[in-house]
Chains A and B, each alone.
Chain A
Amino acid sequence: MAIIDPRHAAKQLIYERIFRSATLTAAILVLLILGGVAVSLARGAWPALDHFGFSFVSREIWNPVTDQYGALAPIYGTVVTSAIAMLLAVPAGFGIALFLTELCPPLLKRPIGVAVELLAAVPSIIFGIWGLFVLAPVLQRHVQPWLIENLGHAPLIGSLFRGPPYGIGILTAGVVLAIMVLPFIAATMRDVFDTVPAMLKESGYGLGATTWEVMWNVVVPHSRVGIVGGIMLGLGRALGETMAVTFVIGNAHRISSSLLAPGTTISSAIANEFTEAVGDLYTSSLIALGLLLFLITFTVIAAAQAMLRRLERRGVAGI
């Protein structure tokens, strides 16, 4: 039936080339965007890095009047808030994942899973205004006085919990971040736990192990790589999170020994000061902060993806 019309075939071939190159161009554009981000940030940061050299990352001073900038306080704030967030969110995320995979009645599994995922969809600015108007006063009135009273005089960690309860500050920012990254960690861990073959778990139960023993001795060792990948993905989010932190951190460019004191993070410093920055060195220093953040988060997220990918491959090969 089919009669091959050479003109038709040639036209088809042209369309094919056009469509193929359109998809290829779009795919390569993704690479170009990441490359463009790196190059444009490096170029924008160059004046500041050239002027301050290595001292940019080792000095605490941040003074627009004298045009002296150092990134130590924002780096400290970013690292400490993220550490608090992980300290709270990792055990809680693990608990939620454990509940969803092992304990939850099947009927509730999906609704609770969806609720956790919806928490992940709430935009960060909402966490910010909720943190400022609801969470910070609660922490100020009930939690921080208790911490000051009971831990303020403890050896070693005592200095972390001294000073007046401001409400806003490093600790509050860490708590808000913990709530924000909790759904990411919980959802990734749940997905990873689901990949553990039922046979392995059943064998554990068959030997008389309790639910917790199966979890800790069978499921966790089997999904170790995925758990670490999920945690690092959450860490990547926490490090780069901007709006939620900007609302509750207090925006003070200094390093205090107390977690209750106001501080700043890389992203909140950029969000707060960028549009008001006058002078090339000021703007360039803020972009240099952005470059730092980019390098840190890129490393963390890339490592997380590499781990999760290894798991996927093993999952396929394991079947």
Chain B
Amino acid sequence: MNRRLLRKIKNGVFLLLSLIATMVGLACLAAILWTLLSHGIAGMSGHLFTQMTPPPGSAGGLLNALYGSAVMTLLGILIGSPIGVLAGTYLAEYGRNSRLSTVIRFINDVLLSAPSIIIGLFVYEIVVVRMGHFSAFAGALALAILAIPVTLRTTEDMLNLVPVGMKDSSAALGAYPWRTTLSVLYPAARSGIVTGLLLAIARISGETAPLLFTALNNQFWSTNLNAPMANLPVVIFQFALSPYKDWQDLAWAGALIITVTILVLSISARVLLALLQTQQGSGR
């Protein structure tokens, strides 16, 4: 009887600890969001979206940084996602069981968790050193390299979910694999692939380390892709660590904008995926 009580107590202690761990995890998320909201809303103002990043001691906004982030993220996705989608198509359709595919899948998973600062150094070596100066293009390229593994992985997974019968039917009608892929598989896996794109955008739009020595930063308005360009993460990095109150407020406002954007993207990706799953569930 005593032994049974001991086991029960042990069970209770560990389950309590597990509950506490979950609480702590959720509390961290809540604390971060709360800090961002309370500091960020104070920094919000109409100037944020109409004025450039200011010199210390004067008021200003984040227009150039927002523009730069949007341009580089968009360019990064435009370069990276077609490569990711095509490579995912190869893995799912053409080379499903080949040794090459096994290696590529493995390397891709490694790239997926590789430190982003390494990618920044790589682009610095191959682009910035060759061109002799920092540029928005180099920044976009670094982001593109980070977007590839995310889109590749989701594309392959989603294509694998398409029922084999659909592929066989298309082949039976005499369609070549390329036609089947474009007209049957891609439409069937569309929301899954879009999910991958959203996740990739969420991943790269908050990246700071790879932009530090590729796009650098720019205090002024610039649309030149061949010159350094302002971007939100690097501006937050510089402004938050500065001693100036104005700059710190802008950093908090920028941090709030980035986080809200990324959380909205991640949540929409999840909702899209959930919709896809219920659709497939009812289809059967």
Interface range, A side: 35 or more
Given A30-B152, A118-B263, A16 and B111 touching (CB < 8 A)? no
A61 touches B (CB below 8 Å): no
Could you say which residues of chain A place their CB within 8 Å of the CB of B187?
A: none
B118 touches A (CB below 8 Å): yes
Closest chain A CB from B42 CB (angstroms): 13
Q: Of the candidates A114, A122, A233, A298, which one forms a contact with B259 in the assembled complex, judged by CB atoms under 8 Å apart?
A: A122
> How many angstroms from the CA of A53 to the CA of B8 in the assembled complex?
59
Given A122-B262, A240-B115, A27 and B110 touching (CB < 8 A)? no
A125 touches B (CB below 8 Å): yes
Q: Mark B74-105, 1 if CB is under 8 A from A, else 0.
A: 00000000111111011101110000110110
Q: Chain A interface: which of B17-25, B45-53, B189-197?
A: B17-25
B233 touches A26 (CB 8 A): no
B107 touches A34 (CB 8 A): yes
Closest chain B CB from A40 CB (angstroms): 4
B114 touches A301 (CB 8 A): yes
> How many angstroms from the CA of A105 to the CA of B17 in the assembled complex?
17
Could you say which residues of chain A place their CB within 8 Å of the CB of B119?
A: 37
B25 touches A103 (CB 8 A): no
Given A36-B126, A121-B263, A186-B25, A275 and B118 touching (CB < 8 A)? no
Could you say which residues of chain A place their CB within 8 Å of the CB of B87?
A: 23, 26-27, 29-30
A92 touches B24 (CB 8 A): yes
> How many angstroms from the CA of A23 to the CA of B181 in the assembled complex?
11
Within 8 A of B (CB), among A231-273: 233, 236-237, 239-243, 246-247, 267, 270-271
> How many angstroms from the CA of A228 to the CA of B100 in the assembled complex?
27
- Name the CB-closest residue of A to B178: A19
Given A130-B35, A134-B31, A179-B28, A99 and B125 touching (CB < 8 A)? no
Interface range, B side: 35 or more
Could you say which residues of chain A place their CB within 8 Å of the CB of B118?
A: 37, 41, 240, 290, 293-294, 297
Which of B18, B103, B118, B212: most chain A Cβ within 10 A?
B18
Closest chain B CB from A27 CB (angstroms): 4
Which of B21, B124, B236, B259: most chain A Cβ within 10 A?
B21
Given A125-B208, A274-B212, A23 and B89 touching (CB < 8 A)? yes
Which of B21, B106, B115, B152: most chain A Cβ within 10 A?
B115
A183 touches B209 (CB 8 A): no
> How many angstroms from the CA of A246 to the CA of B32 in the assembled complex?
18
Within 8 A of A (CB), among B194-225: 202, 205-209, 212-213, 216
A243 touches B208 (CB 8 A): yes
A132 touches B (CB below 8 Å): yes
Q: Of the candidates B8, B148, B213, B241, which one forms a contact with A247 in the assembled complex, judged by CB atoms under 8 Å apart?
A: B241
Which of A211, A242, A304, A309: most chain B Cβ within 10 A?
A242
Q: Of the candidates A27, A99, A130, which one forms a contact with B104 in the assembled complex, judged by CB atoms under 8 Å apart?
A: A27
Could you say which residues of chain B place their CB within 8 Å of the CB of A20?
A: 94, 177-178
B245 touches A (CB below 8 Å): no
Could you say which residues of chain B place their CB within 8 Å of the CB of A294?
A: 114-115, 118
Could you say which residues of chain A place their CB within 8 Å of the CB of B17?
A: 95
B36 touches A (CB below 8 Å): yes
B21 touches A43 (CB 8 A): no
Within 8 A of B (CB), among A22-78: 22-31, 33-34, 36-37, 40-41, 43-44
Q: Of the candidates B122, B152, B241, which one forms a contact with A41 in the assembled complex, judged by CB atoms under 8 Å apart?
A: B122
Q: Is the interface of A mostly helix, strand, loop or mixed?
A: helix
Q: Mark A280-291, 1 if CB is under 8 A from B, else 0.
A: 000000010010
> How many angstroms from the CA of A66 to the CA of B108 in the assembled complex?
41
B212 touches A44 (CB 8 A): no
> How many angstroms from the CA of A23 to the CA of B83 in the assembled complex?
8
B148 touches A242 (CB 8 A): no
Could you say which residues of chain A place their CB within 8 Å of the CB of B11?
A: 210-213
Within 8 A of B (CB), among A59-109: 91-96, 98-100, 103
A103 touches B18 (CB 8 A): yes
Closest chain A CB from B215 CB (angstroms): 11
Could you say which residues of chain A place their CB within 8 Å of the CB of B32?
A: 119, 122, 126-127, 130
Within 8 A of B (CB), among A194-234: 210-213, 215, 233
- Name the CB-closest residue of A to B112: A301
Given A37-B119, A125-B208, A126-B32, A26 and B86 touching (CB < 8 A)? yes
Q: Which A residues have a C-beta under 8 Å from some C-beta of B? A: 2, 12-13, 15-16, 18-20, 22-31, 33-34, 36-37, 40-41, 43-44, 91-96, 98-100, 103, 112, 114-119, 121-130, 132-134, 179, 182-183, 186, 210-213, 215, 233, 236-237, 239-243, 246-247, 267, 270-271, 274-275, 287, 290, 293-294, 297-298, 301-302, 304-305, 309
A-B contact pairs, 20 of them (CB 8 A): A26-B83, A26-B84, A27-B90, A27-B95, A28-B104, A30-B149, A34-B110, A92-B21, A95-B22, A99-B21, A122-B259, A123-B258, A129-B240, A130-B32, A133-B240, A182-B28, A236-B113, A271-B212, A294-B115, A297-B113
